């Protein structure tokens, strides 16, 4: 059976010792945040994750959600409703929400720590409140005062939940192709009609109402074509009512079916049908993507968090098995008669098992550090009194959002595979639980924009269009210099320098020059050149994101190793923890960081070999070598079959 224990020591190390989150007290809204508050919050949240949510993970996977076709309702697995009620009673839906609507007003970085524990314990369950928080943020940013007063208190308390309804059968990432229509009514509301698919938490029995945020096109001749014509609407399952429950008449929005999917069976992924359902415009007409991106960007960070959380659980279970499983002799032992009779050793003694585990450990710990650091930057970008600090922090968040979504989820698939490998054949069967984590992890690479889309977003929008990389590099360099003054580990700094920061800067600068030159030439009547530049960018995008990610994680190891080295001198009692932290940093430097150099060379090759094969030539069939005239020769008489 699998197990999960919240990694509180490592979380406290990152939050209190490396990030010093209590410094957020300089933001007036966070005056109550100190180390004691953070520790108490982590401990209480861990109890709910370990004792309530985790036991429901395997059973929820086996039972799944049940769709009642006649009543068009969905029942969640046994125990989910009771667990959700405990979650709400603890005030956890509103941890990082506005106190004006009943929230606790705590920093986003602490909500990130909460979400990590919940996703590690039970990812399918954690998706329900996670999507509600995204709906809360979109309404809080773009909703009218009336919409905020109507929906936000219920979302903050957890009485109501939320979804985001984007995808349709004919339009995945290309939202300009959506067909859902919104017809304006005399009272200012709209009738929304259309079908949405892959809607996580679209229908369930956890809350008394579900608030759908729906992308649609206003049924009007003035609506621009494509993505410029998209608007965002709030469409509740039950219409709001002044009654005590706040729930009125049923709105005609129904679950047509539950998607039969590979993993996250405890979460209801629905096809949602809107049959003239009443909705209200959020923000401006035809500006729906701007509003939806508030929710979408949070969702991307949330999916990256899911990847980190699954990597953590995979590591814990792989480690427990490696310590317990006895098999073989140490590799250095010579095969002799005297060694053949000795008892088998724990498989953690074997180098390749250690390689699997250390790869997961190094990535999970750096991922936690990066995710918490970015969450803290998000807090600063929203609340800090200094405008320049807010702007600088926002740039860091924007450039690292696609990086974390893609890299953490790629790692989750690899790391859950690695943990299964540690288990050997036992990892492939349901009894030990590892195959569920692998199945659950696979979706994270695809939803909220596939990782290829994240790579294009990084290089096409964040680097080439918005030019955010210099601000990020400046922040990174400031951190490294500050760390060097505090005694940063020199071997890690040298490895970072060799692995690609100069090269990364050079690649980016070169690409920006080519893009700028392409624009000039296109105006001079040579549009084909710009197209070739964009093809090159598209061809290198995934490798570029991987390079960026590996070095960004190296930056986090510099920060952690610096603190660990200092703490070794100050805190002898924690010697084993800090020495292990430094040893893991060295493993990352020796075994993962060098991949950046290979990626740099791959990026420099451009896209020629990638795009040189015509689509019709991808098939193996040979069409021009006389195969059609070839006939099978007859066997000589008497030949055996």
For 289, left (φ over 0), alpha (ψ -120 to 50), or beta?
alpha
pLDDT recorded at residue 608: 78
How many angstroms separate the CA atoms of 635 and 496, rounded? Answer: 65
Task: Give the residue-averaged pLDDT of 279-304.
Answer: 89
pLDDT recorded at residue 628: 46
As a whole number of Å, the CA-based R_g of the chain is 27
Taking all residues of the chain, what is their mean pLDDT, rounded to a whole number? 86
Residue 38 CB partners (closer than 8 Å, separation 6+) = 12, 15, 16, 21, 22, 110
pLDDT recorded at residue 66: 97
Question: Read out DSSP for 303-354?
Answer: HHHHHHHHHHHHHHHHHHHHHH-B-S--TTS--SHHHHTSPP-BGGGSHHHH
For 483, left (φ over 0), alpha (ψ -120 to 50), or beta?
alpha
How much of the chain exceeds pLDDT 70, in percent? 86
Residue 63 burial by Cβ neighbours in a 10 Å radius (0-12, 13-18, 19+) = middle
Provide the CB-side half-sphere exposure for 46 (13 A, CA): 14
pLDDT tens for 399-436 read: 999 999 999 999 999 999 999 999 999 999 888 889 99
Q: Answer yes or no: is pLDDT of 476 > 80.
A: no
Verify whether residue 448 is a known catalytic residue.
yes
Residue 640 burial by Cβ neighbours in a 10 Å radius (0-12, 13-18, 19+) = exposed
pLDDT tens for 184-214 read: 999 999 999 999 999 999 999 999 999 999 9
What is the pLDDT confidence band of residue 622, given thresholds at 50, 70 and 90?
low
Q: Answer yes or no: is pLDDT of 16 > 60.
A: yes
Q: Answer yes or no: is pLDDT of 14 > 90.
A: yes
Higher-confidence position of 38 and 471: 38
Residue 69 burial by Cβ neighbours in a 10 Å radius (0-12, 13-18, 19+) = exposed
pLDDT recorded at residue 478: 73
pLDDT recorded at residue 505: 43
Higher-confidence position of 193 and 35: 193
Task: Give the residue-averaged pLDDT of 557-585.
Answer: 87
Residue 166 CB partners (closer than 8 Å, separation 6+) = 175, 178, 196, 215, 292, 296
Question: Read out DSSP for 21-52?
Answer: GGGGGGSGGGTT--HHHHHHHHHHHHHHIIII
Global pTM reads 0.90
Question: Read out DSSP for 503-544?
Answer: HHHHHHHHHHHHHHHHHHHHHTT-HHHHHHHHHHHHHHHHHH
Q: Answer yes or no: is pLDDT of 570 > 60.
A: yes
What is the pLDDT confidence band of residue 376, given thresholds at 50, 70 and 90?
very high
Q: Answer yes or no: is pLDDT of 370 > 90.
A: yes
Q: Answer yes or no: is pLDDT of 528 > 70.
A: no
Higher-confidence position of 341 and 219: 219
How many angstroms separate the CA atoms of 134 and 276, rounded? Answer: 25
What is the pLDDT confidence band of residue 594, given thresholds at 50, 70 and 90?
confident
pLDDT tens for 54-81 read: 999 999 999 999 999 988 899 999 999 9
Contact 419, 317 (CB under 8 A): yes
User: What count of other Cβ atoms lies within 10 Å of the Cβ of residue 523?
Assistant: 10
Residue 329 CB partners (closer than 8 Å, separation 6+) = 339, 342, 344, 345
Q: Answer yes or no: is pLDDT of 243 > 60.
A: yes
Region of poorest pLDDT, from 200-209, 215-224, 527-536: 527-536
Region of poorest pLDDT, from 47-61, 390-404, 593-607: 593-607
pLDDT recorded at residue 523: 39
pLDDT tens for 492-521 read: 555 555 554 444 444 444 444 344 334 333
Q: Answer yes or no: is pLDDT of 335 > 90.
A: no
Range with top average pLDDT, 238-247, 306-315, 471-480, 574-583: 306-315
What is the pLDDT confidence band of residue 633, given thresholds at 50, 70 and 90?
very low
pLDDT recorded at residue 339: 65
Catalytic residue among 71, 183, 448, 634: 448
* Tokens of residue 407, six digits: 């890299």
pLDDT recorded at residue 537: 72
Q: Answer yes or no: is pLDDT of 562 > 80.
A: yes
How many angstroms separate the CA atoms of 271 and 255, rounded? Answer: 6
pLDDT tens for 123-169 read: 999 999 999 998 999 999 999 999 999 999 999 999 999 999 999 99
How many angstroms separate the CA atoms of 26 and 34, rounded? Answer: 11
The position carrying tokens 């269009």 is 465
* Tokens of residue 371, six digits: 């995710």
pLDDT recorded at residue 531: 53
Least Cα distance to 514 among 572, 559, 442, 463 occurs for 463
């Amino acid at each position: 059976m699998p197990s999960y224990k919240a990694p509180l020591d490592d979380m406290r190390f990152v939050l209190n010792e490396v990030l010093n989150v209590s410094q957020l007290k300089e933001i007036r809204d966070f005056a109550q945040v100190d180390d004691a508050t953070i520790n108490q919050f982590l401990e209480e949240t861990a109890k709910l994750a370990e004792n309530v949510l985790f036991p429901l993970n395997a059973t929820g996977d086996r039972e799944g959600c049940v769709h009642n076709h006649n009543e068009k309702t969905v029942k969640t697995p046994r125990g989910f409703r009771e667990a959700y009620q405990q979650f709400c009673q603890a005030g956890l839906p509103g941890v990082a929400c506005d106190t004006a609507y009943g929230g606790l007003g705590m920093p986003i970085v602490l909500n990130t720590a909460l979400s990590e524990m919940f996703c590690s314990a039970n990812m399918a369950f954690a998706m329900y409140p996670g999507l509600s928080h995204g709906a809360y943020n979109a309404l809080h940013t773009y909703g009218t005062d009336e919409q905020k007063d109507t929906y936000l208190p219920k979302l903050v308390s957890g009485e109501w939940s939320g979804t985001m309804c984007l995808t349709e059968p004919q339009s995945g990432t290309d939202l300009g192709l959506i067909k859902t229509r919104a017809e304006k009514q005399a009272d200012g509301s709209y009738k929304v009609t259309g079908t949405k698919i892959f809607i996580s938490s679209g229908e369930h029995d956890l809350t008394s109402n579900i608030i759908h945020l729906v992308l649609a096109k206003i049924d009007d001749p003035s609506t621009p074509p494509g993505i410029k014509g998209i608007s965002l609407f709030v469409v509740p399952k039950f219409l709001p009512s002044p009654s005590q429950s706040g729930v009125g008449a049923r709105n005609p929005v129904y679950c047509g079916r539950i998607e039969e999917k590979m993993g996250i069976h405890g979460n209801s992924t629905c096809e949602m049908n809107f049959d003239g359902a009443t909705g209200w415009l959020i923000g401006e007409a035809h500006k729906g993507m701007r509003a939806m991106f508030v929710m979408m960007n949070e969702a991307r960070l949330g999916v990256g968090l899911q990847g980190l959380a699954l990597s953590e659980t995979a590591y814990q279970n792989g480690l427990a098995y490696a310590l317990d499983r006895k098999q073989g002799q140490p590799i250095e032992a010579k095969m002799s008669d005297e060694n053949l009779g000795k008892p088998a050793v724990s498989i953690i003694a074997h180098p390749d098992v250690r390689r699997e585990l250390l790869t997961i450990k190094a990535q999970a710990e750096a991922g936690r550090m990066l995710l918490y650091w970015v969450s803290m930057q998000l807090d600063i970008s929203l609340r800090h009194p200094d405008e320049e600090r807010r702007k600088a922090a926002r740039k860091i968040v924007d450039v690292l959002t696609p990086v974390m979504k893609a890299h953490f989820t790629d790692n989750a698939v690899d790391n859950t595979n690695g943990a299964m490998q540690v288990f050997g054949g036992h990892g492939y069967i349901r009894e030990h639980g590892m195959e569920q984590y692998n199945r659950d992890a696979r979706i994270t690479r695809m939803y909220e924009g596939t990782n290829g889309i994240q790579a294009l977003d990084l290089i096409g929008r964040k680097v080439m269009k918005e030019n955010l990389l210099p601000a990020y590099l400046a922040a990174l360099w400031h951190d490294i210099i500050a760390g060097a003054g505090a005694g940063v580990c020199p071997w890690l700094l040298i490895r970072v320098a060799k692995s690609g920061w100069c090269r990364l800067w050079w690649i980016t600068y070169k690409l920006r020059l080519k893009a700028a030159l392409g624009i000039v030439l296109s105006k001079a009547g040579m549009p084909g050149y710009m197209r070739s530049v964009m093809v090159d960018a598209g061809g290198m995008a995934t490798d570029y994101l991987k390079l960026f990610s590996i070095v960004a994680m190296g930056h986090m190891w510099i920060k952690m190793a610096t603190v660990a080295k200092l703490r070794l001198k100050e805190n002898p009692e924690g010697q084993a923890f800090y020495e292990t932290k430094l040893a893991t940093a060295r493993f990352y430097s020796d075994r993962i960081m060098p991949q950046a150099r290979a990626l740099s060379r791959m990026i420099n090759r451009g896209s020629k070999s990638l795009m040189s094969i015509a689509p019709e030539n991808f098939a193996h069939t040979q069409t021009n070598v006389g195969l059609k005239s070839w006939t099978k020769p007859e066997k000589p008489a008497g030949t055996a079959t």
